[in-house]
Amino acid sequence: MGFGDLRSARLRLKVLNGFLSERSYIEGYVPSQADVAVFDSLSGAPSADLVHVLRCLPGVKKPLGGGRRRRHRPVRSDEEEDEEAERLKEERLAQYAAKKSKKPTIIAKSSLLLDVKPWDDETDMKQLEALVRSISMEGLLWGQSKLLPVGYGIQKLQINCVIEDDKVGTDMLEEQITAFEDFVQSMDVAAFNKI
Please name the residues in contact with 164: beta carbons below 8 A apart, sequence gap of 6 or more: 107, 108, 109, 138, 139, 140
Domains of the chain, start order: 10-66 (no CATH), 109-194 (3.30.70.60)
Amino acid identity of 137? M
Spatial separation of the C-alpha atoms in residues 25 and 51, rounded to whole Å: 13
Stated as kind and residue range, the H or E segment containing 52 is helix 51-61
Question: What pLDDT does 126 receive?
Answer: 94
| Strand (E) or helix (H) holding 94 | helix 78-102
Task: Give the pLDDT means over successive 10-residue stretches in the chain (195 positions).
Answer: 58 79 78 78 74 71 51 58 86 88 82 94 92 94 94 93 92 93 93 92
Contact 116, 160 (CB under 8 A): no
Best CA proximity match to 49, nearest among 86, 6, 77, 13: 13
Name which of 107, 135, 115, 114 is nearest 194 in CA terms.
107
- The pLDDT of residue 67: 47
Total-model pTM:
0.48
* C-alpha Rg value of the chain to the nearest Å: 46
Contact residues for 7 (Cβ-Cβ < 8 A; gap 6+)? 41, 42, 43
Instruction: Name the 3-class secondary structure at 120.
Output: coil
